[in-house]
Structure formats: C-alpha cells, structure tokens
Amino acid sequence: MRAARADEEVQAALRLRHRVFCEEQGVDLAAEQDGRDPEALQLVALGDGRVLGTCRVLLDDGLARLGRMAVEPGHRGRGIGGALLAEADRAMRDSGARRIRLHAQTASRGVYQRAGYEPMGEEFMEEGIKHVAMEKQLAEEAPRA
C-alpha cells in the first residue's frame, strides 16, 4: 500500500473505481468523478502487476476525508481494504490530521469498524446505496486557548 507514484497508477485506480462504483453498483459517473481527485492523496494496493485496490484522502484543516475505496472483486476479503485504511491513517497522521472521516457503505462497515472507525449518526442513502458516517481519531485534539 502506498501513494500512487505515476499518472498511470492514478488512471488505473480511476478505472477500478469506475468498474466498482459505476458498473457494479450503478453509481452515476458524475457523482463518482466529482472533480476532487487532483487535490487528493491517491492510495493504491498493487499486486499481479496492477492496481487491486484504491482509495483517496482529502485533508482540510486537520480533518481527513477518506473516500472512493474500491477493491477488485476477485481480491476482496483478503485484507486489502484494511491495509489501505492503515496506510491512509499513517499518511494523514503524518500530514497533521487529527481525525479521519468517511461514508461507509453499510455492507462494508465491518472493514471500517475493525480498523477502529466508529459510526456517527443514523444510516442514510447516498447514490441509492445505504451508508453510515464513520470517524476515527488519529491524534489528540489541540487544546483550546
């Protein structure tokens, strides 16, 4: 697991996301490609000479927002998602993030809970798929003056 190092890896990650979200799950292309990828840290899991998993992380004033996690169907259940989450935590902690937040598809919430994320609030629908907001503290909050 690591940050994408070349445009070819980013493009492979985007193709994987398209297959998983748009083709497999029916998410609208405009929703999946929201224009924020250039400002995000793109993480990739490599194997068999290709991108097997990916996610992106955006950082805003100490809050990291993880999203677009996708794993090749034939490689799910092998720890790739958990390893991507661990790398995202490490990278964002190193970048100064105090918390990391995401919207988890409820069918995948166990992956996030095992990685230490806690649900926040009620389930909701996003792009026709049931989700729950989850968050994890990465570092102690700065004391208030």
**Domain-by-domain residue ranges, the chain?**
2-137
Q: How many residues does the chain have?
A: 145
Mean pLDDT in consecutive groups of 10 residues from the start of the chain, 145 residues: 94 96 94 93 94 96 94 94 95 94 95 95 95 93 59
Please name the amino acid found at residue 51: V
The answer to whether the predicted template modeling score (pTM) of the entire model surpasses 0.85 is yes
Tell me the CATH architecture of domain 2-137: 3-Layer(aba) Sandwich (3.40)
Looking up tokens 């083709």, which residue turns up? 23
Burial code of 20-43, b = ≥16 C-beta within 10 A, e = fewer? bbbeeeebeeeebeeeeeeebbbb
Residue 49 has a pLDDT of: 87
Q: Pairing between strand 99-105 and 63-71?
A: parallel
Q: What is the token pair recorded at 49?
A: 């000479």
